[in-house]
Amino acid sequence: MNQIDRVDNAVKLKSVATGFDLTRVREDFPVLCQQPHGRRLVFLDSAASAQKPRPVIDAVRHCYEAEYANVHRGVYWLSERATEAFDGAREKVRSFVNAPKASEIVFVRGATEGINLVASSYGGTFLDAGDEVIVSHMEHHSNIVPWQFLRDQRGIVLKVAPINDDGELILDKFEAMLGSRTKLVAITHVANALGTILPVKDICHMARSRGIRVLVDGCQAVPHASVDIQDLGCDFYVFSGHKLYGPSGVGVLYARQELLELMPPYQGGGEMIESVTFDKTDYAAPPYKFEAGTPNIAGVIGLGAAIDYVRSIGLDQISAHESDVLGYGIRHLAEIDGLRLIGEARERAGVISFVLDNVHAHDVGTILDQEGIAVRTGHHCAQPVMDRFGVTSTVRASIGMYNGRDDIDALATGLKRVKDIFG
């Protein structure tokens, strides 16, 4: 099969979403009306961090203007309003990922902190020397390094599930790795450097039927498709608010109630206690047990607004629209002479990663920037998967709900310019 055929098969092209109004969506994102270097801003870096729609910006402003006070503490009117908005956001998150209980939603700084919390609190308590943690070959550094800490501190064994040349997890090899010492699988839902969607439901089933816990890194999944945690069957699920059109500095850890009950607190301080004397402290019930200190109040409220916004557009609509743009992008970029796609998984979302013959990704990025096009260049905090493909860096164009086929066309034109300059 030639490459074009290969690509057409690889992407399940859904028809352009009916009722998805790209122009209107774009109008909701104030940042997009800027003109870097006098060009229309073509923002193709949402996988690093997404732009914010007006309702999120308004919600954060409203929080500070009208209902800001510390939460869960004051008895006065303002504090009550802040607490209500804050707790309301927790319920929005619960419903967004269909978690059974709001108490299973722990607010953290981001996915990174969520994974570190699990590694430190769960891993530090329930994993012993010789116990195995399995990650995939295409994890973000934040789902590698915390397990290495645990390896160095507690002598656990970190194992890596292999991927094929298309950037897909080799499922039978993964299953064969699950043994009597395997205690935890920590795996990404969608790979940030390649866009591969992993068969997380199958993975959870394979692991949990053997009594193995599963942590899913959902950073790159939740912005693109609806996620049902109960359907997936995972034990832990983490994601960052800023990739879901919400503020930075806030993220979510979902964990099963019974695990949260068993796990010791991650940090100590206010908010996470029931009573403190110098002899002894009784911890609050989850989720507060894991939320020491004053939380990111406006961030949490902004995240709630982001979820409302995404749901008002509709995740199915967003999914359909984005797969149209992604499929269009893959087909068009694959036609460019000397361009090699990195990662050609059949099931994918949001990301096109590629290299150009004889031109370094950084040079591509600088030239595209002059055309108003923002792409990510580098190793995308996923160096092991870069090594797997024999590259040190790629150009990554990633897609958010505000991207259209016109952005892909701009990118293709920009790449022509790169080739002109580099001859």
Which residues contribute to the site for other proteins (CB under 8 A)? 358-363, 366-367, 370, 377-379, 383, 386, 392-393, 421-423
CB of 418 to ligand PLP, least distance (A): 25
Give whichever of 34 and 370 is closer to other proteins, judged by the CB atom: 370
End-to-end CA distance of the chain: 29
Q: Which of 381, 405, 417, 422 binds ligand PLP (CB under 6 A)?
A: 381
Torsion sign, CA atoms 358, 362, 366, 369: positive
111 binds ligand PLP (CB under 6 A): yes
Report the C-alpha gap between 23 and 33 in whole angstroms: 12
Retrieve residue 171's tokens.
């499922």
Q: Which of 217, 235, 291, 324 binds ligand PLP (CB under 6 A)?
A: 217
Annotated catalytic residue 381: yes
Report the C-alpha gap between 213 and 211 in whole angstroms: 7
Q: Which does 295 bind (CB under 5 to 8 A by kind): ligand PLP, other proteins, none?
A: none
Q: Which does 217 bind (CB under 5 to 8 A by kind): ligand PLP, other proteins, none?
A: ligand PLP
Q: Which does 403 bind (CB under 5 to 8 A by kind): ligand PLP, other proteins, none?
A: none
Report the C-alpha gap between 404 and 22 in whole angstroms: 7
Give whichever of 232 and 410 is closer to other proteins, judged by the CB atom: 410
Q: Residue 302, SS3?
A: helix
Report the C-alpha gap between 231 and 204 in whole angstroms: 10
Give whichever of 54 and 362 is closer to other proteins, judged by the CB atom: 362
CB of 196 to other proteins, least distance (A): 20
Give whichever of 217 and 322 is closer to ligand PLP, judged by the CB atom: 217
Piece of 53-61, 124-132, 136-144, 204-212 that binds ligand PLP (CB under 6 A): 136-144
Q: Which residues contact 295 (CB under 8 A, 6 or more apart)?
A: 71, 86, 107, 271
C-alpha to C-alpha distances, 306 to 9, 34, 136, 303, 377, nearest whole angstrom: 34, 22, 30, 5, 27
Piece of 201-209, 216-224, 225-233, 311-319 that binds ligand PLP (CB under 6 A): 216-224
Looking up tokens 């205690």 gives: 183
Q: Which residues contact 66 (CB under 8 A, 6 or more apart)?
A: 81
Q: Which does 370 bind (CB under 5 to 8 A by kind): other proteins, ligand PLP, none?
A: other proteins
Retrieve residue 310's tokens.
């995404």
For 273, phi then psi, to 5°, come to: -115, 160
Q: Which of 116, 120, 136, 188 binds ligand PLP (CB under 6 A)?
A: 188
Please name which of 48, 4, 51, 59 lies closest in space to residue 31, comparing C-alpha atoms: 51
Q: Which residues are catalytic?
A: 381
> Where do contacts with ligand PLP occur on this chain (CB under 6 A)?
110-112, 140, 142-143, 188, 192, 217, 219-220, 240, 381
